Amino acid sequence: MAAHRFRLALIQYAASANKLDNLKRAAQLAREAAQNGAKILAFPECCNSPYGNSFFDEYAEEIPGQSTEVFSGIASENKVFLVAGSIPERCGKKLFNTCTVYDPEGALIVKHRKVHLFDIDIPGKITFQESKTLSPGNQLTTFQTPFCKVGIGICYDLRFAEMAQIYCSQGCELLLYPGAFNMTTGPAHWECLIRGRAVDNQLFVAAISPARDASASYVAWGNSTVVNPWGEVIGKADEKEQIVYADIDLSYLKEVRNMIPILKQRRSDLYEVKALTEVADAISKS
């Protein structure tokens, strides 16, 4: 029988130019989170490297590789599910922004390649095109834990409500989005998007940001956040390095869905949102 309560930890830290230092810091913070009772841990986007088109190729690794070996060790050492943020992945001649997920035995159970690339142009504020260096993933990704089914997105994926709705229809009760919103989009949209995905689908949603480094070429907003199915913020960081804990009670999800049964009230005779490719789903042996 699945456990209905568990502790989630969002591990917010800023990755430096030193990959080894980043991995060591991730391991230290993960150990602290596990010692405080967390069963699912999540790192931020680009958790082993700086974020930016000038860094993706330099820091890219094949999977498995140096970083994923460390992530596997973190999961097995602490007996936790680890959603390892994202790293630049090299696959042949292509680069991807990829999240890897590990079970408590350290097995790599699934990986999610960022589906929607961050290509924006806000005049006078920020212009960025991930598509200059990265290729998009072509699959949605879920994994099963003893607690609940979890859906994965990366940063810009958060803006696409259809993706979250498909995860909901697949039985997910928690969505995790490693993401590095910036100082323009972060204060404007970060929290409202997290809350929107949670309320739309009546599930738990968390987004995990790097800590803010004002000296970086790309400055992250920080403010890693967890929201419950009612749309309430139940855990939130500021801009500094820290661990955000949230005690997830899945019985509350069912309570909300019973009070406002929108999932049963959708007019599938008038509209439909569905996946056009098979959703990658992993079931851990742990």
Q: Among all residues, which ones are annotated catalytic?
A: 45, 114, 155
Q: At what angle do helices 66-78 and 19-35 cross, to 10 degrees?
A: 10
Pairing type for strands 204-208 and 172-178 reads parallel
DSSP string for residues in 143-208: EE-SS-EEEE--GGGGG-HHHHHHHHHTTEEEEEEE---BTTHHHHHHHHHHHHHHHHHTSEEEEE
The two tokens of residue 11 are 């591990």
Angle at the Cα of 212 (from 210 to 216), degrees rounded to 5? 100
| Total residue length of the chain | 286
